[in-house]
Amino acid sequence: MALSKEDVRHIAQLARLALSEEEAADYAAKLSRILDLVDQLRQVDTQGVVPMAHPLDMAQRLRPDVVTEEDCRDLCQQNAPRAEGGLYLVPRVID
C-alpha cells in the first residue's frame, strides 16, 4: 500500500512530529515499504480467531487502596525543561 505525502503529514500531525518536505517524501517511501510488508497479513484467513491482546492469560491483579507515595516534586522537577513555583511551564494552552 502506497502512502501519499498527505497521509504522512496527517499521521505526523497525530503523532506530533514536525516533518520537512524532504522527510515527508522519504517517510512516504519507507512507510509504504513497511506497509507492503505488513499487508501480507491482510490475506490471512483469521475467521473465528480470538484476537490476542496479551501473552499472559491471566486476570488483572489489583492493589489495595493505600497511600504509599510521598511528595517527589523537587526531585522530579530537576528533570523538567521548565518549572516554576512547583508548576511545569509550557507555551500557553489555548482552550
Partner 1 sequence: MQGDDRSIAELARALRERSTSSRELVAASLARIERFDGALNAFITVTPEQALAAADAADARLARGEGGPLTGVPIAHKDIFCTRGVATTCASKMLANFISPYDATVVERLAAAGLVCVGKTNMDEFAMGSSNETSFFGPVRNPWDLERSPGGSSGGSAAAVAAGLVPAATGTDTGGSIRQPAALSGITGFKPSYGRVSRYGMIAFASSLDQAGILARSAEDAALVVEAMAGFDPRDSTSADLPVPRYVAELGRPLAGRRIGVPPEFFDAGLDAGCAARLREALEVLRQLGAEIVDVSLPHLGLSVPTYYIVAPAEASSNLARFDGVRFGHRSTAAGSLEEMYKRSRQEGFGAEVRRRIMTGTYVLSTGYYDAYYLQAQKARKLIAEDLRRAFDRVDVIAGPTTPTPAFRLGEKTDDPVQMYLNDIYTIAVNLAGVPGISVPCGFVDGLPVGLQLIGPAFGEAAVLNVAHQYQCATDWHRRRPADPPAGAKR
Partner 2 sequence: MSGGWEPVIGLEIHAQLATRSKIFSGAATAYGAAPNTQACLVDLGYPGVLPVLNAEAVRLAVRFGLAIGASIASRSVFARKNYFYPDLPKGYQISQYELPVVQGGSLRIELDDGSSRTVRLTRAHLEEDAGKSLHENFHGLSGIDLNRAGTPLLEIVSEPDMRSAKEAAAYMRRIHQLVRWIGICDGNMQEGSFRCDANVSVRPAGSTQLGTRTEIKNLNSFRFLERAILFEIDRQIGVLEDGGRIVQETRLYDPDRDQTRSMRSKEEANDYRYFPDPDLLPLEISEALIAEVRATLPELPDARAQRLVAEAGLGAGEATLLTASRELADYFEAVLAAVGPGHARLAATWVNGELAAALNRDALGIEAARVDAQALAGLLARIADQTISGKIAKEVFEAMWAGEGSADQIIDRKGLRQITDSSALEQVIDQVIAANPGQVAEYRAGKDKLFGFFVGQVMKLTAGKGNPAQVNELLRRKLAS
Q: Which of 44, 68, 78, 81 is close enough to bind partner 2 by CB under 8 A? A: 68
| Binder among 25, 65, 91, 95 for partner 1 (CB under 8 A) | 91
User: Which amino acid makes up residue 47?
Assistant: Q
Binding-site residue total for partner 1 (CB under 8 A)? 53
> Quick one: 29 or 88, whose CB is closer to partner 2?
88
- The answer to whether 19 and 27 are in contact (CB under 8 A) is yes
Kindly state whether residue 63 participates in binding partner 2, applying the rule CB under 8 A.
yes
* Member of 22, 37, 84, 86 binding partner 1 (CB under 8 A): 37
Integer angstrom CA distances of residue 63 from 60, 85, 88: 10, 33, 29
Pairwise CA distance, residues 88 & 95, whole Å: 18
Cα angle 72-74-76, degrees, rounded to a multiple of 5? 65
Q: Would you count residue 84 as binding partner 2 (CB under 8 A)?
A: yes
Contacting positions for partner 2 (CB under 8 A): 10, 13-14, 16, 53-54, 56, 58-73, 76-77, 82, 84-95
